[in-house]
Amino acid sequence: MTLDQAVNDLTAFINRAKWVDAVGMLLAKQERDLSVEKYAGEGLDRGRKDELKATLEPLRKIMSI
């Protein structure tokens, strides 16, 4: 591997990893603007919220947010 190829690969990796920061900022904005504690859904809405919350917990751990 040439030095140019290594630099290009590293730059591409850094650019691909930027989605982690973007998702983290969106999650922080959602928690700030749409507090889960204020949500009073019932039935299917409540089930979907609980399912989404359970799905996001491992994602937050992976992203360290």
Please determine, for residue 53, whether its predicted confidence score (pLDDT) is greater than 80.
yes
Q: What is the pLDDT of residue 16?
A: 86
pTM of the model: 0.41
Q: 17-40 pLDDT, tens per residue? A: 888 888 888 888 888 887 766 666
Helical segments of the chain, H only = 3-16, 18-33, 43-63
7 CB-side CA count, 13 A = 3
